[in-house]
């Protein structure tokens, strides 16, 4: 079974902090993705990566950056957290399709 | 703009009462359509992939079908454990990489 592990289930941070969300997959997948999920807005793609050190902007990249130094790890960075970034963040990985998801990090920015 | 629309937004069923969920998309020739199940506080769990019109996939009480403009997820004789949010996602022909466009989901509640 594919396992996608997100480092924290719940996280509380303050406005202006730099926040790191970590994701690790154990299936040697090339592709990794970061989404946020908000009520009424569904899943929206923030960034994705198709190889080590490669990244592509998704639909809502503003205020975020990513890092992929190793194939199995994909990090999402909130450069200066704001309250409108309070959300559920989901990481996914795939070889091609389908994408397999972690259980999410519920992030609250106070 | 590539869109995926799911209906209804919510569905309340009695145990054993069969029903269908709809997923419609804006262009033909998609590269794949995916159904996921999501339980509260968890990530989406992959259910089915459909690639071409006329294709059908089944798993226990769930059956997914695909036409040129929409997909249906049929739930036959549901049980309370089928309660979840069901998400549909489409890989559009010009999507960069393996990007998926998700619908808003259908929340299904099956009452005993």
pLDDT digits (tens, 9 = 90+) for B18-34: 999 999 998 767 889 99
Give me the mean pLDDT over the B33-43 stretch: 96
Of A42, A50, A98, the CB nearest to B34: A98
Find, among B98, B107, B101, the residue nearest to B26 by Cα: B101
Residue among B98, B99, B102 with most chain A CBs within 10 A, to mutate: B98
Q: Which of B108, B112, B57, B58 is CA-nearest to residue B86? A: B108
Comparing A33-47, A57-71, B4-18, B25-39, the range with the smallest average pLDDT is B25-39
Q: Which one of A31, A41, A42 has the shortest CB-CB distance to B98?
A: A31
Q: Which residue of B has its CA nearest to A47?
A: B99
**A chain contacts of residue B87, beta-carbon cutoff 8 Å:** 42-43
Token couple for B18: 């069969």
Asked if A72 and A25 touch (Cβ cutoff 8 Å), the reply is yes
Q: Output the average pLDDT for chain B.
A: 93
Q: What is the pLDDT of residue A14?
A: 98
Q: Show residues of chain A in contact with B34, CB under 8 Å.
A: 97-99
- Cα-based distances in Å from A110 to A60, A64, A107, B24: 21, 17, 10, 38
Torsion of CA B18, B47, B102, A61, to 10 degrees: 150
- Side-chain-side CA neighbours of B7 within 13 Å: the count stands at 4
pLDDT at position B98 over 90: no
C-alpha distance from B78 to closest chain A C-alpha (Å): 24
* Percentage of chain B exceeding pLDDT 90: 82
pLDDT of residue B9: 96
CB contact (8 A) between residue B46 and residue A48: no
Question: Looking at residue A70, what DSSP letter applies?
Answer: E
Q: Please determine, for residue B8, whether its predicted confidence score (pLDDT) is greater than 70.
A: yes
Contacts of B49 in chain A (CB under 8 A): 97-98
Which chain B residues have a beta carbon less than 8 Å from that of A48?
Answer: 97-99
């Amino acid at each position: 079974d594919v396992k996608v592990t997100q480092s924290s289930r719940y996280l509380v941070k303050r406005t202006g902090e730099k926040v790191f969300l970590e994701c690790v997959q154990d299936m040697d997948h090339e592709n990794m993705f970061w989404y946020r999920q908000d009520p009424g807005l569904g899943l929206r793609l923030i960034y994705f990566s198709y190889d080590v050190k490669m990244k592509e902007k998704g639909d809502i990249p503003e205020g975020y950056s990513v890092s992929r130094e190793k194939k199995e790890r994909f990090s999402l960075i909130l450069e200066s957290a704001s309250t409108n970034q309070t959300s559920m963040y989901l990481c996914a990985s795939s070889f091609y399709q389908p994408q397999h998801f972690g259980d999410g990090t519920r992030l609250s920015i106070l | 703009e590539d869109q995926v629309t799911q209906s209804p937004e919510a569905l309340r069923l009695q145990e054993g009462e069969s029903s269908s969920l709809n997923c419609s998309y804006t262009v033909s020739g998609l590269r794949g359509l995916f159904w996921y199940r999501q339980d509260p506080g968890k990530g989406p769990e992959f259910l089915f992939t459909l690639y071409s019109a006329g294709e059908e996939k089944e798993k226990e009480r769930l059956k997914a079908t695909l036409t040129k403009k929409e997909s249906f997820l049929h739930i036959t004789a549901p049980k309370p454990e089928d309660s979840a949010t069901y998400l549909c996602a489409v890989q559009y022909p010009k999507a960069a990489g393996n990007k998926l466009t998700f619908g808003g989901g259908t929340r299904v509640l099956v009452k005993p």
